[in-house]
Structure 1
Amino acid sequence: MWSRITLVLLAAVMISGYYLVRSSYEARRLFTEVDRAQNEGRKLEADHQRLLAERHAQATNLRVEQVARERLKMRAVSPAITQTVELGGRAASAAAGGQP
């Protein structure tokens, strides 16, 4: 009779010990996973800040002007290259808001 109770208690202790070890292992695994995710988040935040700084540097007036000159072959406006177009006849009165 006592040996059955002893075996049942021994089995209960072994099972509870197994679950204790398993839950400790799972807690450590989850902690490691959270730590990795936090590190990845910090890395992504640093990359985001770097990209924002690069975007800001690319959008400066001097940079835009340089790209316009070099890639688009644009040049500054001067009276020598400015042309004016005058509307004549019906087009002039339509532009002025009059009846055609």
Structure 2
Amino acid sequence: MKTATTLLLSAALCLSLGACARMAPTSQAEACASGLNQGFSELDDAKAKGFGGTVSLVKAASLLSAAKVQQQFEKYPNCIDKVQRARKYIRMAEQGL
């Protein structure tokens, strides 16, 4: 009886830890996708305002494209980092830096 209880508790613990492990990547995946959508939208807006030829926007476009590749390979922390850096370059372009 004691062995069955221990086995049952061990199985429950493994399942709960597995569920927790899957939660973090999902939220990172959502952050990556959301950031990409915002980044590409901001990039399009900046180009529409006439900032299309700036070096900062070229860097931002490259970073967003690289972030998209990271998303496809499920490297979400790398995707999020590249999106944040790209959005910084977009802000710099809009400020004329």
TM-score of the aligned structures, taking structure 1 as reference length? 0.47
Structure in which a larger fraction of residues adopt helix: 2
Bigger RCO (CA 8 Å, 6+ sep) = 2
Instruction: Select the structure of larger CA radius of gyration.
Output: 1
TM-score of the aligned structures, taking structure 2 as reference length? 0.49
